[in-house]
Amino acid sequence: MRLSQLLEFDNIIVQCHNNPDADALASGFAVLKYLRDNGKNVRFVYGGNFEIAKSNLKLMIADLGIDVDYVKTQDELAKLLGLKEGEFPDLLITVDGQYLEGNIQKFTAKNIAIIDHHQVEGPLPKLSEVRSYQASCATVVWDLLKLEGIDVNADIKLSTALYYGLLTDSNNFSELHHPIDMDMRDELKFSSSIITKFKNSNISQEELRIAGIALLGSEYYRDNHYAIVKTDPCDPNVLGIISDMLLEVEDVECCLVYSIHEGSIKISVRSCVKEVKADELAQFICEGVGNGGGHTVKAGGSIQRRLLEIQELDYTPPSIQQFFRSRMQDYFYNNEIIYATEYEMDLSGMKRYARKSLKAGYIVATDVLPVGAKAVIRTIQGDVKVEVEEDTIIVIGIRGEVSAISKSQFDKYFEKDSSEYIYPGEYIPTIRSDEDGRILELIPYAHSCLTAGDSMMFAKELNNRTKVFTKHDTEKYLLGKPGDYIGVLEDNTSEIFIFEREIFHKIFDLI
């Protein structure tokens, strides 16, 4: 959906969820401003049983001039818009939540639109933009505003609001994983003094108490050095504060903190050992019932009540606790860890495969940046750091994944190709120089190449979750899930690889 499609309506309500948080306020504020600037009769509201009381949100409303009203009845809503009693708004747009959802008070309007970043809850109206992969609804709105050619940075109150929305919905950006979220974080020109002020009134006295009680009830699992903590419902950033604190405790290597809300459960995950990436653990915990992600040390996620109930799990604290206990146990017990530097692969049971010749792309790094430059390449799979050397080649794989290798490695595994390069993915990778912060698109520099088809490999399907620390990266593991493949080069069996099942069949032929 484009925001401009909303302009065909005149009397408009923008509504965020009950008990608004900073992301809901930021998103509603941005949509309100867009519609107002386009001459619409529009108001921004929320319903529910409570008026906003948290001090950071009250500051946000006052300092950024967010014109939001707390309404309880349809009549109040009509009055706000100057409509006659019993008359309905032409359009109601829900932000940071979906119309008819439990957490959004129901008001009636002639048309409904939805802008959100949660899991899709039910049938969506024609006018909707729900991006479950985005860390904040503010990001969705920011991107929609950009699509309309609007310079968000021209209004520092707006950009500060959006920035704070993402910050609070991603635990101070530590749980970000999608490149568009990172783009927004990096591109917004916000007021840092205002953000500092908000941050310092983040936790209410009540939440401090909640955190204290939660820590008293922490469960520690000695065998695998992790802790699980349940907190009473609170702001997600309080979960992050609790999990950060837990990680500093001796013998706690990983932790999971969660809080149960009406329609969903929020989780925060931390890890300080290289054998567990927090983002991967968060994904594992949420698999099939929600969404998780973030970074290697800090991650988070949310689990949908509806999806738990589909799996016939009761939405009660004891059965939720049992759910987390067994997910954590599965994670730590059912996996194998391989350190390639000290591992001898057993080749029995492995089959011989030949690599197919496939299209990929490459960029001569010095075509883009000078030798010695440090830069970050932003891709759909995350940020990749590169240091440009004379012979650095940036390779774009068949799924749009990016890596930097030396020319000799390139010559070994790839062949140049004369056809035009066509990028296969959706998010166009960019490169940002550390020196001047310049952002360039990579694709215009890309040429076509083929993966060399003659390398041979022994491989087998995995039955267990397997983590491999390769010889080249002893800090970060490759993860294989059951059904994926593990393989070694025929002429060098200490070179261990993991391939996703689908990719494996695309790249290799059984000999």
Which residues are near Mn ion by CB under 5 A? 23, 96, 137, 169
Identify residue 33 by its one-letter amino acid code. K
Q: Among residues 11 and 168, whose Cβ is nearest to Mn ion?
A: 168
To the nearest 10 degrees (0 to 180), the angle between helices 278-286 and 317-333 is 130
Q: Among residues 103 and 451, whose Cβ is nearest to Mn ion?
A: 103
Q: Which helix (H) or strand (E) holds 302?
A: strand 298-304
Q: Among residues 167 and 488, whose Cβ is nearest to Mn ion?
A: 167
Q: Cα 288 to the chain's mean position, in Å?
A: 16
To the nearest 10 degrees (0 to 180), the angle between helices 192-199 and 55-64 is 160
Closest contact distance (angstroms) between CB of 118 and Mn ion is 7
How far is it, in rounded angstroms, from Cα 35 to Cα 8?
Answer: 11
The residue with tokens 């390639």 is: 340
Closest contact distance (angstroms) between CB of 1 and Mn ion is 18
Q: State the first-to-last Cα distance of the chain, in angstroms, to the nearest integer.
A: 48
Q: Among residues 21 and 401, whose Cβ is nearest to Mn ion?
A: 21
Tell me how far CA of residue 463 lies from CA of 73, 429, 466, 482, 488, in angstroms.
56, 34, 9, 5, 17
Q: Among residues 184 and 404, whose Cβ is nearest to Mn ion?
A: 184
How far is it, in rounded angstroms, from Cα 283 to Cα 276?
Answer: 12
Farthest-apart Cα atoms in the chain, separation: 81
Q: Among residues 169 and 207, whose Cβ is nearest to Mn ion?
A: 169
Sign of CA dihedral 88, 99, 162, 6: negative
Q: Among residues 169 and 244, whose Cβ is nearest to Mn ion?
A: 169
Q: Among residues 166 and 404, whose Cβ is nearest to Mn ion?
A: 166
Identify residue 502 by its one-letter amino acid code. E
Residues 439, 448, 457, CA angle at the centre, nearest 5°?
Answer: 110
Closest contact distance (angstroms) between CB of 115 and Mn ion is 11
Residues 157, 161, 166, CA angle at the centre, nearest 5°?
Answer: 150
Classify each residue of 279-297 as buried b or exposed e, where b means 16 or more C-beta atoms within 10 Å of its C-beta.
Answer: bbbbbbbbeebbbbbbbbb
Q: Among residues 118 and 327, whose Cβ is nearest to Mn ion?
A: 118
Q: Which helix (H) or strand (E) holds 55?
A: helix 55-64
Q: Among residues 116 and 484, whose Cβ is nearest to Mn ion?
A: 116
Closest contact distance (angstroms) between CB of 135 and Mn ion is 8
What token pair was written down for 58? 């009250």
Sign of CA dihedral 248, 249, 255, 257: negative
How far is it, in rounded angstroms, from Cα 408 to Cα 419?
Answer: 22
Closest contact distance (angstroms) between CB of 119 and Mn ion is 12
How far is it, in rounded angstroms, from Cα 361 to Cα 414?
Answer: 10
Closest contact distance (angstroms) between CB of 477 and Mn ion is 31
Residues 179, 332, 471, CA angle at the centre, nearest 5°?
Answer: 65
Strand partners, 294: 299
Q: Among residues 137 and 229, whose Cβ is nearest to Mn ion?
A: 137
Closest contact distance (angstroms) between CB of 133 and Mn ion is 13
Q: Among residues 188 and 442, whose Cβ is nearest to Mn ion?
A: 188
What token pair was written down for 216? 């008293």
Closest contact distance (angstroms) between CB of 211 and Mn ion is 21
Residue nearest to Mn ion (CB): 23
358-360-366-370 Cα dihedral, nearest 10 degrees = -140
Closest contact distance (angstroms) between CB of 367 and Mn ion is 40
Q: Among residues 23 and 484, whose Cβ is nearest to Mn ion?
A: 23
Closest contact distance (angstroms) between CB of 202 and Mn ion is 16
Closest contact distance (angstroms) between CB of 326 and Mn ion is 28
Closest contact distance (angstroms) between CB of 264 and Mn ion is 11
Closest contact distance (angstroms) between CB of 134 and Mn ion is 9
CB 44 within 8 A of CB 28: yes
